[in-house]
Amino acid sequence: MDYLPIFLDLKQQDCLVVGGGSVATRKVKLLLKAQAKVSVVSPEISDALGTLVKQGQLRWVQSIFKAEHITDQRLIIAATDNEQVNHLVHDIAKQKHILTNLTDNPDDSDFIFASVLDRSPIIVAVSSGGESPVLARNLRARLETLIPPAYSKLGELMGKYRETVKQKFGELRQRRQFWDSVLSGPIADHVMAGREGIAEQILQQQLADEIKTVETGEVFLVGAGPGDPELLTFKALRLMQQADIVFYDRLVSKEILALVRKEAELVYVGKQRAWHAVRQEEINNLLLEHAKQGKRVLRLKGGDPFIFGRGGEEIDTLAENAIPFQVVPGITAASGCASYAGIPLTHRDYAQSCVFVTGQLKEGELDLNWSVLVKPRQTVVVYMGLAGLAQLSQKLQAHGMPADMPAALVQQGTTENQKVWLSTIAELPELAEREKPIAPTLLIIGEVTRLHEKLAWFRSG
């Protein structure tokens, strides 16, 4: 280990920054976040530093660097664009045993700065030892997805009750077990969902021995997006890692399922045309039943749960039974598949509105508001439309849509199996018969589909 990672308490401590440019500005802002008393020595300073001076947050010594500027500071940063000046600062500071950093020169520095993820009071610092700051920043960005901002509130809550827990549990082992239960249970879940008041109430109850366990669990209704795992939201990933049991449908890919907590039980409840593995009423009851057992239940649905996903039906049952739940939106197939196909759903030159409809047949018929769908300068997106494609084509033309209206079929959009076929509304049935696209396939109708060949950026396979 080339460097010892430490966290310095700089509150109200004198710190000196030599230099007034953009690099010095970044270092000054970092020191101010640590509540240090900062002075800057430089003939000129950036506008941002000038603003801090006017606000009284910063002391500016308008001068070239001189030895007398170093007194008894706790920490010094040399951030000029003159290496000789930077080394002079370091040499003088070293004689006074003051830690000094030379920006972009880790070899001659007493310490280096890490890439910081600030979730105060939780601070995560990542360093490459000065070898690759870009890599350190990249790793920090990955940690951002695992440590959402709500961890700040969680840290504050735990800090608030640290002494109380210490008094309650005399043994270190007992304290660890208690805090582990906090972090892996409903208290942390409530904090992450923005319900700090409820979380603190449960924590107080547990400390008072009024309740031993929480009898009711919670349901996470999470949109898994159109297929690409990288399109999951940070919140979706966090809840996927907390689930005790997962109910998922057929549109959730194996790559996304691989991101679920390894210990969680996986239950397939998918539906296909003319065949339901589990009826919707049964799914609603399964969510309810397992939540009542105190489990954290993840309902993982392709796309967005509130767009042709029956998510409203599922949480309606939960609400009727006073079961806590969270809904995490996902990227719906229309926006995800269109984006990956290079087809903007709206465009100033082609379409000023967009309509989403489902093409599922009911008793062999399509029952849609045809007059709305054939309006000019709009895009129509049809979900689940393969089975009724011939009827859809015929009725759109019968209600006035031109036979040569451009259309596109996007098969398994956003995944390595994505395929895009361009056609017209009249020729769609013949295209489907010839190419035999497989579900899930999205149909996009409108002039915007002409942009596919120019704007397509995603190459599958």
- For residue range 233-268, list pLDDT tens digits in order: 988 998 898 888 999 998 898 999 999 988 899 999
4 CB neighbour count, 10 Å cutoff: 6
Instruction: Tell me phi and psi for residue 298, to 5 degrees.
Output: -105, 120
Active site residues: 249, 271
Query: E strands within 255-394?
Result: 265-268, 271-272, 275-276, 296-301, 325-328, 353-358, 378-383
**Taking the model in full, what pTM does it have?**
0.69
Domain boundaries, the chain: 14-113, 150-207, 218-331, 334-455
Q: What is the pLDDT of residue 215?
A: 52
Alpha helix ranges (H) inside 232-373: 234-240, 254-257, 280-292, 311-320, 333-340, 370-373
Q: Which residues of the chain have pLDDT under 70?
A: 210-216, 271-277, 461
Q: What is the pLDDT of residue 277?
A: 60
Residues contacting 105, CB < 8 A, separation 6+: 83, 86
Residues contacting 405, CB < 8 A, separation 6+: 396, 424, 425, 445, 446, 447
Sign of CA dihedral 94, 98, 99, 100: negative
Residue pLDDT, tens place only, 128-138: 888 888 999 89
In Å, how far are 155, 186, 218, 411 from 182, measured between CA atoms? 11, 7, 15, 44
Is 226 annotated among the ligand-binding residues? yes
Residues contacting 180, CB < 8 A, separation 6+: none
14-113 CATH pick, 3.40.190.10, 3.40.50.200, 3.40.50.720, 3.40.50.300: 3.40.50.720
Fold held by 218-331: Cobalt-precorrin-4 Transmethylase; domain 1 (3.40.1010)
| Residue 177: both structure tokens together | 């077990």
Is 413 annotated among the ligand-binding residues? yes
Q: What is the pLDDT of residue 361?
A: 77
Is 303 annotated among the ligand-binding residues? yes
Q: What is the pLDDT of residue 183?
A: 87
Is 189 annotated among the ligand-binding residues? no
Angle at alpha carbon of residue 58, lines to 53 and 64, rounded to 5°: 85
Q: What is the pLDDT of residue 211?
A: 43
Is 184 annotated among the ligand-binding residues? no
Domain 334-455 coded CATH 3.30.950.10: yes
How far is Cα 325 from Cα 348, in angstroms, rounded to an integer?
39
| Residue 67: both structure tokens together | 């030895």
Q: What is the pLDDT of residue 181?
A: 80
